[in-house]
Amino acid sequence: MLRKPNYSLLDVRRPNSEIIILLILGVSAFTHLWNPIGFPEIFYDEGVYMHRTMNVINGVGPQDGKFYDHPFFGQIFLGSILYAIGYPDSLNPSSDSVESLYEIPRILMGILAVLDTFLIYKITQKQFQTKTAFAASFLFAVMPITWITRRVLLDSILLPFVLLSVLLAIYSKDSKHRSWLILFSGVSLGLAILTKVPAFTMIPVVVYLVYSQHKNKRLVVLLMVPILLLPMIWPAYSVIYDQFDYWKRDVLWQTQRQNTGIHNTALSFAAIDPVLFGLGVTGLFYAGIKRNWFLLSWAIPFVVFLSLIGYTQYFHWMILLPVFCIGASALILDLGKNLNYKSKHLIPIFVMVVILSFGSVNTILLLGLNVTSNQFEAASFASDVALQNDSVILAGPQFSWIYNDVLQQNNFQDYSLILLKPTPSDFILIADPHFHLDSYRGEILSQLYNTTSTIKTFSSASYDVYTYPYSSLGYNYDAGTIEIKTAKNLSD
């Protein structure tokens, strides 16, 4: 009599393992694609990158004038995809369709996050086991902190390139085409660095993987060639256009910006998602005890870099979310391993179910919110008033790219340019929370606010940001009260 195979729970040989990963990807699609323009708020930096993306779509070029704050592969990548689907003309854009102009790029960010989920699964499966891979990818799919991937940011764009680089390096171990896989791993990481320079902190982990698996220095050199050459396109571009001095100036400026400290951004991470933060940190300590150099070479260089650079924000942790999920999963699935009773294998399963349930409930509570309606209403209202009165709009980049690059209204790209240009005789000021944060940059910004009259105010719903999970809304400050103000020239 044939005995049935004794499959352990979530074993890779289990016939329904493919169904489980499809289920996880389905959950990830839900959490990263549901309500893409309702939550989170439209962030200041999203407008900066959308303006640069529109420059690519409109044939202006990838570089934003003489401002070299970040490399330009991010806008090339995003602009190429959006151009291929006919964006924005296919939307028949108008002042009443502001929401759809953000919806498409944010859907693309959601698709990238689903891809991230799959790549995390494959990386973990190869480095650990399938059970750990299921747990790690599920954590990434449902834990509250992963809402930061929904924004149109360079960090969201570079993450799948980083993960693909790691995965290709891992797969080179048993492949007949190891040289090609290693080369493409280097290309992928090189493109990530060409998107945003801090991705260079991932070099140690891919070098570790390649060398530890092959013990071949030539393959390490092959890996490093595209990693070093591709990012050099950025300074080379500045040399070609005789702007290398601007490149040096802005690169130094980025490193010397006010240091908010890694502890502040760590506290932000902990406020948004205390469970994953605590488990992730503990998992990395556990990796240190176990001498898991894969996880340590991924996490430590970035943490050191984040500690040394001048300006940090909570979403800069995005590149470490996968390693937090993997480290936490490895820790949890080792729980009870050394206990001596029959049901010890149920302990990690129970703990994981509790954590995933907690994450899912809190994530759904956040994603069901609409914190952007006042932003879109304010943007549409200001556009209509400006057209009726032939006025210039002074707004942050989260709105101004729509006016300038899509609706073809001639406006300042950023209200801060008023510090460098004459004040227009007739203007509409969109005074949102970010405007008030920037008022320190010059006295004229305060004058603009104090000497103008409010014609309409748009408010958002209020929540107790000291109550979890609404603590995340403390990092959605751009969606606060927005005033539409107008006045004649300040000298009148």
What is 183-215 written as a DSSP string?
A: HHHHHHHHHHHHH-GGGGGGHHHHHHHHHHHH-
What is d(CA 269, CA 81) in angstroms, rounded to the nearest whole number? 31
Q: What is the pLDDT of residue 441?
A: 81
Beta bridge partners of 430: 484
The token pair that represents 169 in the structure block: 């390096």
Instruction: Kindly state the DSSP code that residue 484 receives in the 8-state scheme.
Output: E
Q: Which residue has the tokens 């994530």?
A: 363
What is d(CA 410, CA 424) in angstroms, rounded to the nearest whole number? 12
Q: What is the pLDDT of residue 259?
A: 60
Q: Which residue has the tokens 């060639």?
A: 225
CA-closest candidate to residue 315, choices 107, 480, 201, 475 = 475
Q: How many C-beta atoms surround the C-beta of residue 400 within 10 A? A: 25
Q: Looking at this protein, which amino acid is placed at residue 485? A: K
Q: What is the pLDDT of residue 434?
A: 92
Tell me the pLDDT tens digit for each residue of 260-279. 668 888 899 999 999 999 99
The low-confidence residues of the chain, meaning pLDDT below 70, are 1-15, 255-261, 310, 336, 338-344, 488-492
Q: What is the pLDDT of residue 491?
A: 42
Q: 81-111 burial by CB neighbour count: b if 16+ within 10 A, else e?
A: ebbeeebbeeeebebebbbbbbebbbebbbe
Beta bridge partners of 427: 392, 487
* Spatial contact of 109 and 89, defined as CB atoms under 8 Å apart: no
Q: Looking at this protein, which amino acid is placed at residue 424? A: P
What is d(CA 43, CA 480) in angstroms, rounded to the nearest whole number? 11
Each domain of the chain, given as residue ranges in start order, spans 17-262, 373-488
What is d(CA 52, CA 64) in angstroms, rounded to the nearest whole number? 6
* Spatial contact of 191 and 153, defined as CB atoms under 8 Å apart: no
* Spatial contact of 481 and 457, defined as CB atoms under 8 Å apart: yes
Note the Cα 12 to chain centre separation in Å.
31
Q: What is the pLDDT of residue 93?
A: 87
Q: What is the pLDDT of residue 8?
A: 43
Q: What is the pTM of this model?
A: 0.92
